[in-house]
Amino acid sequence: MFVNSKSEKLKESPDSLRPQGWDNYIGQERIKKHLRIIIEAAKRRNETPDHILFYGPPGLGKTTISHIIAQETGSNLRSTTGPVIEKSGDLVALLTNLNEGDILFIDECHRINRFVEEYLYSAMEDFKINLILGKGPMAKTIDIKIPHFTLIGATTRIDMISSPLRSRFGSILQLNYYSQEEIERIIERSAQILGIKITKEAKSQIAKRSRFTPRIANKLLKRVRDFSQVEDDEESIDEKIAVKALEFLEVDNLGLEPSDRKIIETIINKFNGGPAGLQALSAATSEEKNAILEIYEPYLMQMGLIKRTNKGRAATKLAYEHLNLKWKNKEG
Ligand code: ADE
């Protein structure tokens, strides 16, 4: 059930570019400050911190921050994901196996089965599980006490978290895209850990195309390194080889990949610029609805390339310009 049962002490190895403490965690300043206060206050009261829900697009640090919280509070982090908690028994096993003060990290917590989710309510609120045994008139309820724990939920779909669950989190924190400058610092740090020599301009090119997302920035840095090792004998990665590699990878200067461009092109060409409904857009692009909602759309909206109206998604003037297409002036 648990993906990893003990809190792994994160080491700064090339395998893990994840920062291991607040000091080397770049960006999300407001969230860091908020969490530092929550942790410090809980420590002073000698209590476990209240439950925390993180939401935002993938790759922005929800898991990394949860590991840091465990590190900072000196707790074990037990990690699982929503879809694997299929039956109430799975959740009961998970909760009864916790130790006092543990952190239970549930990724994709919008995908917990609705019936199972109900058992979480009393666990989060009163640290007990109200178990119903049997059916009909003979049914009995028993209360099982569980240790005090902190639930950290992570989701890319805050809209899918039911309000009873939402209301049981003490803090609900949104992770936002990083700035260009923060991503450049993250690339700088990763390059140092990986022993990669890279110029300022090359870093800036990777950052620009990384969707302001650390996971993507680190992935692109590694791919650019591969490319430069094979195609270039220069000692350090410079702008020219970085751009060449990124173009080869089909990541354009706004960080769009072929599937992003396909979505915009489909809205423009098949839906006359939009609005296009989710279902229709998904069918026309062969992209899953969830991928459109969780991955593509947040970034395309952030970049001002599409907008959401109550009738669906529409391409903006900027989207036409980016694809070198003539803008058909509609309502804006
Ligand atoms: N690697 C991934 N995310 C990071 C962050 N926020 N700070 C430093 N390194 C990172």
* Ligand 1 atom nearest 61 alpha carbon: 3
- Based on the residue annotation, tell me whether 45 is a catalytic residue of this protein: no
- Among 144, 48, 32, CA closest to 88: 144
- Based on the residue annotation, tell me whether 62 is a catalytic residue of this protein: yes
What are the tens digits of pLDDT across the range 263-289?
999 999 999 999 999 999 999 999 999
Ligand 1 pocket at CB < 6 A: 17-19, 24-27, 61, 64, 186, 189, 214
Domains 28-174 and 258-322 share a fold: no
- What's the rounded mean pLDDT across residues 286-311? 96
- Answer whether residue 82 shows pLDDT above 70: yes
Q: What is the CATH number of domain 28-174?
A: 3.40.50.300
Close Cβ partners of 147 (under 8 Å, ≥ 6 residues apart): 98, 99, 100, 101, 102, 127
Question: Residue 96 corresponds to which tokens in the numbers above?
Answer: 């009864």
Q: Tell me the pLDDT band of 235, cut-offs 50, 70 and 90.
A: confident
Probe residue for ligand 1, chosen from 32, 54, 69, 218 as the CB with the greatest number of ligand atoms within 8 Å: 218
Find the 19 Cα to ligand 1 centroid distance in Å: 6
What topology does CATH give the domain 258-322? Arc Repressor Mutant, subunit A (1.10.10)
User: By three-state DSSP, how is residue 24 classified?
Assistant: helix
At the top level of CATH, the class of 180-248 is: mainly alpha
Which one is catalytic: 48, 63, 73, 213?
A: 63
Find the 166 Cα to ligand 1 centroid distance in Å: 27
- Look at phi and psi of residue 151 and say left if phi exceeds 0, alpha if psi is from -120 to 50, else beta: beta
- What's the rounded mean pLDDT across residues 72-79? 96
* Ligand 1 atom nearest 17 alpha carbon: 1
- Based on the residue annotation, tell me whether 223 is a catalytic residue of this protein: no
* The pLDDT of residue 302: 96
Which one is catalytic: 78, 203, 209, 215?
A: 215
Which one is catalytic: 73, 156, 213, 316?
A: 156
- Answer whether residue 145 shows pLDDT above 90: yes
**Residue the block writes with tokens 């459109």:** 292
Residue 133 or residue 315, greater confidence:
315
- Based on the residue annotation, tell me whether 156 is a catalytic residue of this protein: yes
- Answer whether residue 8 shows pLDDT above 90: no
Cα separation of 119 and 128, whole Å?
A: 9
User: By three-state DSSP, how is residue 309 classified?
Assistant: strand
Probe residue for ligand 1, chosen from 179, 186, 213, 215 as the CB with the greatest number of ligand atoms within 8 Å: 186
What are the tens digits of pLDDT across the range 156-208?
999 999 999 999 999 999 999 999 999 999 999 999 999 999 999 999 999 99
- Based on the residue annotation, tell me whether 15 is a catalytic residue of this protein: no
CB 199 within 8 A of CB 236: yes
Cα separation of 2 and 149, whole Å?
A: 15
**CA distances (Å), 16 to each of 20, 97, 189, 257, in order?**
9, 28, 12, 25
* The pLDDT of residue 134: 85
- What's the rounded mean pLDDT across residues 19-28? 96
Domain ranges of the chain: 28-174, 180-248, 258-322
User: If you take atom 3 of ligand 1, which residue's CA is the nearest one?
Assistant: 214
